[in-house]
Amino acid sequence: MNPTSPANVPATQPTGPTETTLAARQAALVAALVAGAPPPPGFVPEALAATRTALLRKRAGEVARYWPLLATGLHPRWLEVFQHWAAGRPPAGAPREGWDLARYLHGAGELPPLGADELACRQAGYHYPEPGRPPRPRRLPSWGRVGGAVAIQFAGRVRLLRPARRQP
């Protein structure tokens, strides 16, 4: 058996200049679609913009499935807020993108109360390491606090605590 035969070459390595060029063109297209890079040569900018918008809507739907209270709290503006925030950012996975968006909105003072509840619960129940890594469940008792929302996690269960409301 010949060790340099095509059957023994891994599929992930380019085997010639055509494959290298194709891989570079594909990378440029993906960067233009999801990371805000300029359009690669030979692509119609309007079609690329329409595809970018469709991909942002799909990402918004995925994040809304993982972060339903955040999406509900921003309901009439959810898609607009998400698209504005996510434009030019490469996808990081729905759980991480929801986490980053909620923290961004909290820092800007625009996080709705339902989003604060959900973020507090996620802070209590999960540890979000550096970007690019998935969230991990917390094992020790912990808590999360965002605005007026406080959540505690003990023995794997997360409880949202609400302060008593005063009667007028």
Average pLDDT over residues 8-36: 69
Summary mean pLDDT of the chain = 82
pLDDT of residue 8 exceeding 80, the answer is no
Quick: pLDDT tens for 109-168.
999 999 999 999 999 988 887 776 778 888 888 888 888 888 888 888 888 887 655 545
The backbone region for 61, taken as left when phi is positive above 0, alpha when psi lies in -120 to 50, beta otherwise, is alpha
Domains of the chain, by residue range, sit at 42-161
Please list the alpha-helical segments (H only) found in the chain: 17-34, 45-66, 68-73, 78-86, 94-107, 113-125
Structure confidence at residue 9 as a pLDDT band (50, 70, 90): very low
Once rounded to an integer, what is the mean pLDDT over residues 23-31?
83
pLDDT number for residue 24: 83
Model pLDDT for residues 54-90, shown as the tens digit of each residue: 888 999 999 999 999 999 999 999 999 999 999 878 8
Q: Tell me, what's the pLDDT at 20?
A: 63
pTM as predicted: 0.73
pLDDT value at residue 163: 61
